[in-house]
Amino acid sequence: MFKVNDNYLKLPGSYLFSTIAKKVNAFTAANPQAEIIRLGIGDVTQPIAPAVIEALHKAVDEQSTTEGFKGYAPDLGYAFLRETIAKNDYEAYGCDIAADEIFVSDGAKSDSANIQEIFSLDNKIAVCDPVYPVYVDSNVMAGRTGTYDPKSETWSDVIYMPCTAENNFCPELPKETPDIIYLCFPNNPTGEAITKEQLQVWVDYANKAGAVIIYDAAYKAYITEKDIPVSIYQCEGAKTCAIELCSFSKTAGFTGLRLAYTVIPKELKCGDVQLHALWARRHGTKYNGAPYIIQRAGEAVYSEAGKAQIAEQIAYYHKNASYIFNGLKEAGYTVAGGVNSPYVWLKTPEQMNSWEFFDYLLEKANVVGTPGSGFGPSGEGYFRLTAFGTYENTVKAIDRIKKL
């Protein structure tokens, strides 16, 4: 008789966004006339930039010719894209990352979930609290997190690093030494960023403790302030302790096209073993490469026209973020994020918990957001709104909230 991977059975409840979808569907069924505005899930709404569309068309047309046809892509990514990324995302910022240290993939979600496979099961992970749920859940599935306590909503073998108003949503170094540290800045869900000086403290700590940092930079395109690093490799010594995850999803609206990359420097070693070699082996066995046409689209993101068009899109989302941030502030809310990020993190009013505020906002303003508690215990009493809607809807939603 077959047996299932019972680590999956340990996962509590359903995934945050399916719970939200169920609640919204029930509300819509009961109130069919309500005009719901969704500022919950972090999906973009702006169409793909013209320079990227042009590259996609060209790459599609190439497939109709014998000379242009492409079969399996190299499983680590085409050289043209890896070299373009190395030049634009690293060399341009003074980071010494070679093209062959960049692994192209179809998403930072899958990379952030899969990367734990190359580490031993007895490694202890540390995560920010609140946190992008994938880091913890993927470690639960692997059997690395111990037992779940439904009361505190925490796992016995996970080190939680609270990010609260008291520490400006930047985690303090943990008391217990972790083996693997997940950091995401600019942060989902708090929308707050970390300065280069603060990140350097983590790099020094990891190098000293023999820990590895998995640094999720999915929102780096939203950085506006000068002292915020766009890459962990801007910090001295990061190449011996850090893996970086990046995505085209929020940078260039590729949530549907699917393209991302992970950087593993060759100097990052456990004894004699290069993590680069392990991830290359893993990719070679389990992954057959992101599609050629999508990689050509990714390359066009870095063309002069692509850069200009994408900067306009980011500015559009920034304008939404400012409208949310300022509008809520005017209405008396305590807000964070929104400056180097498309997310605004607000304190729920009048002692409401996160889900109570979710229901209140849905019923009274017909606005959907994301309850902070869905991202971890320290998210309780907070709520996330995203700037990824259209400007018109964002204005409408915030004006409704202001009137409550």
Q: Is 105 marked as binding a ligand?
A: no
In the bound state with ligand PLP, the residue whose beta carbon lies nearer, of 85 and 365, is 85
DSSP type of residue 275: H
Distance between CA atoms of 320 and 251, rounded to whole angstroms? 16
The span of 5-13, 103-111, 272-280, 347-355 binding ligand PLP (CB under 6 A) equals: 103-111
Q: Identity (one letter) of the amino acid at 99?
A: A
Binder among 107, 186, 337, 376 for ligand PLP (CB under 6 A):
107
Q: Does 132 bind ligand PLP (CB under 6 A)?
A: yes
Q: Is 156 marked as binding a ligand?
A: no
- Can you list the pairs that 116-122 forms with residues at least 24 positions away whose Cβ atoms lie under 8 Å? 116/142, 116/144, 116/180, 117/142, 117/282, 118/275, 118/278, 118/279, 118/282, 119/179, 119/180, 119/212
The span of 18-26, 82-90, 108-116, 303-311 binding ligand PLP (CB under 6 A) equals: 108-116
- What part of residues 140-179 is at the interface with ligand PLP (CB under 6 A)? none
Q: Does 108 bind ligand PLP (CB under 6 A)?
A: yes
Identify the sign of the CA torsion 127, 247, 238, 186.
negative
Q: Does 295 bind ligand PLP (CB under 6 A)?
A: no
Q: What is the DSSP string of 301-361?
A: TTSHHHHHHHHHHHHHHHHHHHHHHHHHHHTT--EEE-SSSSEEEEEPSTT--HHHHHHHH
Question: By the 8 A CB rule, do 378 and 131 touch?
Answer: no
In the bound state with ligand PLP, the residue whose beta carbon lies nearer, of 109 and 276, is 109
Burial of 186 (0-12, 13-18, 19+ CB in 10 A): buried
Binder among 38, 40, 42, 383 for ligand PLP (CB under 6 A):
42
Distance between CA atoms of 119 and 135, rounded to whole angstroms? 14
Q: Is 5 marked as binding a ligand?
A: no
Burial of 380 (0-12, 13-18, 19+ CB in 10 A): middle
Size of the site for ligand PLP (CB under 6 A): 14
Q: Does 112 bind ligand PLP (CB under 6 A)?
A: yes
In the bound state with ligand PLP, the residue whose beta carbon lies nearer, of 327 and 342, is 342
Q: Identity (one letter) of the amino acid at 86?
A: A
Burial of 353 (0-12, 13-18, 19+ CB in 10 A): middle
The span of 107-115, 290-298, 354-362, 378-386 binding ligand PLP (CB under 6 A) equals: 107-115
Q: Does 116 bind ligand PLP (CB under 6 A)?
A: no
Q: Does 188 bind ligand PLP (CB under 6 A)?
A: yes
The span of 171-179, 247-255, 309-317, 372-380 binding ligand PLP (CB under 6 A) equals: 247-255
CB of 383 to ligand PLP, least distance (A): 16
Q: Is 31 marked as binding a ligand?
A: no
The span of 106-114, 143-151, 206-214, 234-242 binding ligand PLP (CB under 6 A) equals: 106-114
Q: What is the DSSP string of 73-110?
A: PPTT--HHHHHHHIIIIIGGGT----GGGEEEES-HHH
Q: Does 216 bind ligand PLP (CB under 6 A)?
A: yes
Distance between CA atoms of 189 and 213, rounded to whole angstroms? 19
CB of 43 to ligand PLP, least distance (A): 8
Catalog residues that contact ligand PLP under the rule CB under 6 A: 42, 107-109, 112, 132, 184, 188, 216, 218, 247, 249, 255, 260
Q: Which residues are annotated as a binding site for substrate?
A: 15, 42, 109, 132, 188, 288, 384
Q: Which residues are annotated as a binding site?
A: 15, 42, 72, 108-109, 132, 188, 219, 247-249, 258, 288, 384
